[in-house]
Amino acid sequence: VFGLSSVAQVILGEGNNGQYLSINIAFGIGVTLGIYAAGGVSGAHLNAAITITQYILGNISVASLAAYIIGQFLGSFFAAATVYALYYEAIYNYTNGSLTVTGPTATAMIFSTYPAPYVSLQGAFFTEFMATVMLILGILVIHDEKNNAAVKGAQPILTGMLVLCIGLGMGLNTGYAINPSRDLPPRIFTAIAGWGMDVFRADRSWWWIPVTAPALGSLAGVFLYKICIDWHNHPAHETEQGKEQGGTETS
């Protein structure tokens, strides 16, 4: 709700009630609050790409996988519906009643991401892939207890700042979906609410990229973290225990 409403305010206010930075900040705060809300319940599974990765790694069951993704999709769908209701009059005033995906009064991008006109499908895929690699690397750095993890109470804030940073540096090409649950359910909502199937056909049927690229990027990021950090990480207390055990065996 925070993220989509910030986009709505920027677009419908024609730049007079917010800018790109305000969208980045709103999404970062939304992620922070989401983690504070759900962290103790589920570990705050807000991103289907990361949830799928956790399942592939064997960290959650198939039942949890289904429950988390259904929860994510319902939350995102109803967030889009909430923002649509909130800005219903503003949307119809801005568009003169014509809901379009492209053109001077396009409003579909309030709810889902669309690539810049100059970006190829390959470039869009690579952007979403790499942005999600950076997302999962940052999350692992923040939460890895075997490494130099952040204190528990600060982890949601730092994760929100991570999302903010990705938006500030990697949002130009595609709008940084980096999460199938953030992009697909609102796109389905817009198809139902009046924008039609153009939301799936626009930009050479780009819609599948924010679904698949983040999932693959999350897996690649975890693999990269394990190769570069996790497999080489020996916490100090484990090293000391090994030395003590070695000394005992020598004696």
Q: Establish if 250 belongs to a structural domain.
A: no
**Residue range 122-144: mean pLDDT, rounded:** 97
Q: Tell which wins on pLDDT, 127 or 238.
A: 127
Q: Is residue 223 part of a domain?
A: yes
pTM higher than the cut 0.85: yes
Q: Is residue 152 very low, low, confident or very high in pLDDT (cuts 50, 70, 90)?
A: very high
Rg for the chain (alpha carbons), in Å?
A: 21
In a domain, 246, yes or no: no
Mean pLDDT, range 190-204, rounded to an integer: 97
Torsions phi, psi for 233 (to 5 deg): -90, 120
Residue 133 located in a structural domain: yes
Residues 6+ apart with CB under 8 A from 183: 112, 113, 177, 207, 210, 211
Spatial CB neighbours of 218, under 8 Å, sequence gap ≥ 6: 47, 49, 50, 52, 53, 132, 133, 135, 136
CATH number at residue 73: 1.20.1080.10
**Domains identified in the chain, total number:** 1
The pLDDT of residue 210 is above 90: yes
Cα gap 220→137, rounded to integer Å: 10
pLDDT of residue 251: 45
pLDDT in tens, 39-95: 999 989 999 999 999 999 999 999 999 999 999 999 999 999 999 999 999 999 999
Q: Which domain holds residue 116?
A: 1-232
The confidence score (pLDDT) of residue 238 equals 54
How does DSSP assign 36-60, residue by residue? HHHHHHHS----HHHHHHHHHTTSS
User: What separation in angstroms does the CA of 177 have from each of 57, 87, 143?
Assistant: 23, 22, 22
Residue 137 lies in a domain: yes
